[in-house]
Amino acid sequence: MGNDLSKLSPKGVIHAIRTRSQRKTQTPPQSIKAQSVTSNLASSPAPTPNPASTPLPPVSVARPSAIDGAVLNDEDAVYWHPSQDESSDREYHKVETSDYFLPSDMQEQSRLDLQHHMLVMLFKDLIICTPVKQILTKKSTKVLDVGCAMGTWLDAVYRIYLNPEYHGVDIADELNQWDKMSLAKCVFGNVLEGLPYEDNTFNFVHQRLLFTGVPKAKWPAVVAELARVTKHGGWIQMLEYDMVTYRQGPSSKMLGETFAAMLDKRGMDIRAGTNLVGYMNEVATSSGGSVRLTNITQKTVSCPLGWGGKVGELFLQDSEKAVMTMKTFLPKIMGLSNEAYDDLVGEFKSECVRNQSFGNFTCVYAQVIKN
């Protein structure tokens, strides 16, 4: 089942996958042969993604809609919250007011570690905010990671810059209490409700990939909160992803756009990466002019999904682990059995390699100026 889906609509794909799933339950299990995927990558070197000055894809690729291929059969499941899950063997945060729905356990930390390495390879650096590198050599420097989990980013920075004092904050209190190489002081906190730090505490504040937990209406306040705890002349660095995949097949379109539509209905920003600069520009307005962000610099990089070398392999692994993590509610949203959902994820992986799919990550950094 691969090329037979390539000309079907999203509803047609759903029907085909359901039908195949039903047939499986009626026939004895059979051994499955590995399916070979032909691609021009076999005869020529895979192109590597180049940094782009804007988050737009190459001009030869049409800009797709983020949600027109979505299948939402169960609207109640769209608003699933970890507190509703009593049967799963996964662990989640315990913040009732948070919309974040991904786990906070060692299995999820393993995915985040993989994702970390993918991002460092993609941007070719751990510290994308180049002006802050000199600051990181000083013992007086204080660094904060917002959404730190077990501190993978903090420990990675510490391996290069030994002098700063490191701090982290996360709603997953079980994870951020683990010992860290960086000896980071990690505490419980929710950026949406205010960080547990005084004004002007840090020289460098880092935050990345919170687009699944920050409502679109609250992004300006989140940026302002990062700026509040940053010292005059200090820097903030934010990295986010646009929930748009380019060169999709029918299965990847349906899976990705259903997830995007779910986020959209929950009030999240499915183009958070693209909108970061705009959110930063709102800080001066929201602060009444007492705080502003200057030297705003944006770097957007297209990441291959399942092709283009190691970084593409890692991105596909990360994506697969993420969608399988959401098996608690995404199959229900789409009206699929768990077995049919597994088939859909398998098709998604094959299509990404076959079509040379990619997505855009955007990092924006800026200097904080306070009057």
Q: Check residue 108 and give its pLDDT.
A: 83
| Beta partners for residue 360, in sequence order | 302
The more confident residue out of 14 and 101 is 101
Q: Check residue 98 and give its pLDDT.
A: 74
Q: Check residue 107 and give its pLDDT.
A: 83
Q: Check residue 8 and give its pLDDT.
A: 59
Q: Check residue 359 and give its pLDDT.
A: 96
Detail the DSSP E strand segments found in the chain: 51-52, 142-146, 165-170, 185-188, 202-208, 230-241, 291-304, 358-370
The more confident residue out of 366 and 75 is 366
The more confident residue out of 145 and 150 is 145
Average pLDDT over residues 216-243: 97
Band (pLDDT 50/70/90 cuts) for residue 64 is low
Q: Worst-scoring range by mean pLDDT, 18-27, 101-110, 158-167, 207-216?
A: 18-27
Instruction: Tell me the backbone φ, ψ of residue 144, rounded to 5 degrees.
Output: -125, 135
Q: Is the pLDDT of residue 41 over 50?
A: no
Average pLDDT over residues 299-327: 95
Average pLDDT over residues 345-352: 96
Q: Are 296 and 277 in contact (CB under 8 A)?
A: yes
Average pLDDT over residues 171-193: 80
Neighbours of 91 (CB within 10 A): 16
Q: Are 212 and 101 in contact (CB under 8 A)?
A: yes
Q: Worst-scoring range by mean pLDDT, 9-13, 110-114, 163-167?
A: 9-13
Pairing of strands 165-170, 51-52: unpaired
Band (pLDDT 50/70/90 cuts) for residue 28 is very low
Distances (CA, A) of 69 to 9, 44, 76, 103, 337: 8, 32, 19, 26, 19
Band (pLDDT 50/70/90 cuts) for residue 25 is very low
**Structure-block tokens of residue 141:** 């420097």
